[in-house]
Chain A
Amino acid sequence: MIYRLICFIIFAVLSFANTIEAKEFDEVRALQTRLPYEEATSFKGNVVKHGISLAAHPLNKEECEKYFSYDLNGDGYLPVKIVLTNTSALRLLVHGSDVELTAGKQTFTPLPSSELILKIQDDISIPFFNVSKEEYYNEDAIRKNAIFVNFNQKGLGYRILEPNQSVSGIAFFNSNKLPKKDLSVRLRVQDLGRVRYLSLEAVLH
């Protein structure tokens, strides 16, 4: 009798587990986890030219899960955090979308974010049992939207960088096509006083 009662309680708890309202989805948590304010000079391998410093750091498994709720390294992607700090007196236009990885004379352009977004979205699994149709579709929409917005927020687009400011963003590369060593990140900035450019290249650390 006691055994049956325990079984009934476990069954009831499991049945209700998926209908609890206050769900915290990993994708939403990742979206709310912003990249911290960092300065390029605090990273190993940073390069400084005319008061503008650049650093690049590949994200490990834990960082990928923290910022994207997904182990991107395990799927053949190399997410690289790029940090640029402006200690010069110039206003700069950061050509963030045109960032490149280099290895000797080879150059590698970032993957389009839409490829990664679809890859992660396809991996979402929602238990179809114990939830209403509305809940199922709504959970799916919440999680997919969080992934989509997160990639935009953490990307390194075109930005204006004022003096004494720092900017960080993540670019994604196909790790299967990259050499294992001597990788550097190349980023170009433009002076917003008189039109001239500065190209910075920092070793990946």
Chain B
Amino acid sequence: MQFKIVFTFLLSCLLLAGCAPGMAVEKPKPSEFNKPSLMYQPGRRMLAEPKYALKLGVMDVQDKRIVPFWYDADDFFSETISQGFTMNIYRDIRSSGIFTEVVRIQEQPPATLTAENMMSLKNKYGVDMILVTYINEFYMSRQKTGETRMNTYVVTPRVGLVAQLIYLEKGIVVWAEKVDRKQEDISNTGVLSDGKMGELSRKVIQDSVGDMKALIIQTGKVMRRTK
């Protein structure tokens, strides 16, 4: 009889263990004092002669992401994510030689681009074209490899950008594409050091902006002067 009671108790404990709320696992916290930067050295000139002999204004990048960089946090870098993307895109496009001149326009593009506000941008900043970029994805995932007992993860930062190049005078979209890139690294703990996370993030942004530049050169509409 005693054995039955002890056994029933043990069995109940085991069954309940499956339904009990799990212990909270601490989320990785961004390091306050050693945040990596998103800025990288811009690439070299890609064209001897500019494809567009015009002045381009690079507008502030708009953050349209669905999820933050890591679960519910975004403050892993010394710049905000939209600042980091804006500065990298501006510097890299400027050094590419695709346009005669590139300036930064420190404002967000209007929610609705009308003929009036496009002309207003043209007159205010003296630019012929604007580059409008939306960040669609910039997050880091942590994929387990092998069996659950082994601590091996593939850590993957991903970037998805949608960008369009607009000729202001006629309101024509000269080029528009979506670019997606990812980088991967193996981690034995599932969490990367601040330095490694910064390095991978910079690399994935650089690759995405590199794709943007190559696509503008290859697929951007050819513009001819009209009399």
Contacts and interface: CB of A to CB of B under 8 A. Distances in A.
Whether A and B are associated in the same complex: the answer reads yes
Interface of A: 4, 7, 10-11, 14-15, 18, 21, 23, 91, 93, 97-98, 113-114, 117-118, 121, 124-130, 132, 134-142, 144-145, 148-149, 151-152, 155, 157-160, 191-197
Contacts of B21: 125
A147 B57 CA distance: 39
Nearest to A7: B7
Contacts of B53: none
Contacts of B134: 158
Interface of B: 3, 7, 10-11, 14-15, 17-23, 25, 64-68, 71-72, 112-113, 118, 134, 136-137, 139, 141-144, 147-151, 153, 160, 162, 164, 166, 170-173, 176-178, 190
Contacts of B68: 114
Q: 10 shortest A-B CB distances, which residue pairs? A: A155-B66, A126-B22, A97-B64, A129-B17, A114-B72, A157-B136, A125-B22, A195-B171, A152-B67, A192-B176
A160 B176 contact: yes
Given A11-B14, A134-B151, A157-B136, 19 more contacts: A7-B7, A18-B18, A93-B164, A97-B136, A114-B71, A126-B22, A127-B22, A129-B17, A132-B149, A135-B149, A138-B144, A140-B22, A145-B141, A148-B71, A158-B64, A159-B178, A160-B177, A194-B171, A196-B171
A15 B71 CA distance: 33
A40 to B, nearest CB: 21
A11 B178 contact: no
B113 A195 contact: yes
B97 to A, nearest CB: 25
A11 B10 contact: yes
A14 B11 CA distance: 9
B3 A4 contact: yes
27 contacts: A7-B7, A11-B11, A14-B15, A21-B148, A23-B148, A93-B164, A93-B176, A114-B71, A117-B67, A117-B72, A118-B72, A121-B71, A125-B22, A127-B22, A134-B149, A138-B149, A148-B141, A149-B141, A152-B139, A155-B67, A157-B66, A158-B134, A192-B176, A194-B170, A194-B171, A195-B113, A195-B118
A124 B14 contact: no
Contacts of B153: 141
Nearest to A17: B18
Contacts of B17: 127-130
B190 A141 contact: yes
A151 B67 contact: yes
Contacts of A91: 176
A175 to B, nearest CB: 20
Contacts of B18: 18, 127
